[in-house]
Structure 1
Amino acid sequence: MDSWVRFNAQSQAKERVIRAAQYACTLLGYTLQKSGAAAELHQTITQLEAHMSLTRKLLRLGNSVEALEAAKRAIHLSDSVLRLCLTISHLNRAMYFACDNVLWAGKAGLISKLDQHKWSQRSFRYYLFALILNLTRDVYEIRLLIEREARYRDAKSSPQHSPTLPPDSSTPAAIGLPVIWFRRQLHLLVTVLYSNPPLLLDLLKNTCDIFIPLDRLGISPTGPGFVGACGLTSSVLSILTMLHPWLKLKP
């Protein structure tokens, strides 16, 4: 099993590069179409994108095994929220990859009369649910870090200030309290994300990725140009975490 996981990690690196090229083609095709380029050139880019998509599906064969192994590791986490989010997320990724494998078999002609649209929609639903759970995990970790930073600042400043009574709700100071609170929370958020690059990159990557299944499922259509830009951005961020493993969010 360990040898398979190591081999799969190498395939993932290639898949990320091809994914970046695929979404770059999506963005390029949209740009060419908007600029009124020749139909033959646009068709060539579209065919290249389709070939890259099929190649990615081939490289993802067996990824369900790794996703199941990740779920088995996540189920032993001590934090109940992380345990729930990560375990269910990995299980959904396993189902997404399984549907993707069926799609590859259908497009390769190994399964005849496969309803590719139905299986594509099914795989994107699993993908969407996994991304929602990943974003929930990111928000949860951000909240924990903000609370920790706020307690640290309060403890650091408390000896220098004597306790004061809260201002009356009718005074201008009380009216400005929500603005002060918002600015303080925003400053804490920026501080937390700046000091935690892995969390920031994971949040950006998941935010970009979620627009892809939302568009494919018709929940929030954004168009091929926006999808291509989001896919290209998230792919570059994924490649960055592979080149610098310390940027990968753990666990």
Structure 2
Amino acid sequence: MPLQIIHHPVVDSSLKYANTTVGRDKVFKGVQFFARFLAWYLNRINYDKETIKRLSSLKSTIASSRKLMRTGKFVEHLQQASKALKEKDEIARFTTVGRRLGYTVYLFCDSLLWAHSTGVYKFEQIKKITEIAYKFWIFGLTSSIIHCLYKLHQNGLKKNFFEKNSRSKNIESSEKISSIDSEVIALRRQLLQDIFDIMIPTTSLGYIHLEDGIVGLAGVLSAIIGAKMQWEKVNGAK
């Protein structure tokens, strides 16, 4: 019985997922922001201060761990920005490059923040670095949101074209429509994730005013969407 559990397909799929940095990051993100939400909620109902303190500590520890896991990832985004320059569609090119460059600077600053928080190196201008990180995160997310909206519009036009110009439902047109539908689903998920994510830096910079619990829930929902997308990427959509 124990061997059957170990070799169960779900266990295999879970191991594949957990073996990816993105997969682990989404799980940690979910725990981090749930701890943030829970600490906020317990504080509102005047719960045990020690428990709230532990949750806050858990949130901070996981946040630091996630920064470490993302160290060096800014290079990947810089490479993707370079590749995106070959995109023929101008709007898609600008938004993709904007997203990648935004994340490049954000993640680079994020690495500096990790070094500062762990005492590896203390930066005098840490507040400025934090502000720059959040601003470029917002820039990257905004670019991604515009990109998703644009691609959704483009896919809508393509789908209408195929539906109107296909006299008969042949296999080729059906496959193209199915491909468009799949891309639309992915774009909607990404758009929703970006909307949840952008609440975090905009609140931190004071651009919008949301309670910690709302930001916590937004982070949890973003993590769930991201985890699902990564799961399907690793194990296939089922």
- State the identity as a percent: 21
In structure 1, how many angstroms separate the alpha carbons of the residues matched to 2:107 and 2:182?
33
Structure 2 partner of 1:228: 216
- The answer (yes or no) to whether the contact 2:34–2:220 under 8 Å persists in 1 is yes
Matched, 1:130 2:118: no
- The answer (yes or no) to whether the contact 2:23–2:231 under 8 Å persists in 1 is no
Shifted more, 11-20 versus 129-138: the winner is 11-20
In structure 2, how many angstroms separate the alpha carbons of the residues matched to 1:83 and 1:246?
27
Structure 2 partner of 1:94: 104
Matched, 1:34 2:44: yes
- The answer (yes or no) to whether the contact 1:198–1:247 under 8 Å persists in 2 is no
SS of match in other structure, 2:20: helix
Please state how far the C-alpha of 1:155 moved relative to its aligned partner.
5.7
- The answer (yes or no) to whether the contact 2:98–2:139 under 8 Å persists in 1 is no
Shifted more, 48-57 versus 67-76: the winner is 67-76
Structure 1 gaps, min length 5: 1-8, 158-191
Structure 1 partner of 2:187: 199
Please state how far the C-alpha of 1:228 moved relative to its aligned partner.
0.6
Please state how far the C-alpha of 1:83 moved relative to its aligned partner.
1.1
Matched, 1:214 2:202: yes
**Counterparts in 2 of 1:1-251, with a 5 A limit?**
10-151=20-161, 196-245=184-233
CA RMSD of aligned residues (A): 2.3
Please state how far the C-alpha of 1:99 moved relative to its aligned partner.
0.5
- Deviation per residue, 1:190-231 (Å, 9 max, x gap): xx8788321111111111111111101100011111111111
In structure 2, how many angstroms separate the alpha carbons of the residues matched to 1:69 and 1:195?
23
Q: What stretches of structure 1 move > 3 A for 4+ residues in a row?
A: 148-157, 192-195
In structure 2, how many angstroms separate the alpha carbons of the residues matched to 1:214 and 1:247?
34
**Highest CA radius of gyration, 1 or 2?**
1
How many residues matched?
A: 206
In structure 1, how many angstroms separate the alpha carbons of the residues matched to 2:161 and 2:86?
29
In structure 2, how many angstroms separate the alpha carbons of the residues matched to 1:138 and 1:247?
24
Structure 2 gaps, min length 5: 1-18, 168-179
Please state how far the C-alpha of 1:135 moved relative to its aligned partner.
0.3
The verdict on how the C-alpha distance between 1:247 and 1:145 changes in structure 2, with shifts beyond 3 A counting, is farther
In structure 2, how many angstroms separate the alpha carbons of the residues matched to 1:96 and 1:152?
40
In structure 2, how many angstroms separate the alpha carbons of the residues matched to 1:230 and 1:114?
31
- The answer (yes or no) to whether the contact 1:241–1:247 under 8 Å persists in 2 is no
Please state how far the C-alpha of 1:106 moved relative to its aligned partner.
0.7
Structure 1 partner of 2:13: none
The verdict on how the C-alpha distance between 1:53 and 1:84 changes in structure 2, with shifts beyond 3 A counting, is same
User: Structure 2-normalised TM-score?
Assistant: 0.79
The verdict on how the C-alpha distance between 1:153 and 1:246 changes in structure 2, with shifts beyond 3 A counting, is farther
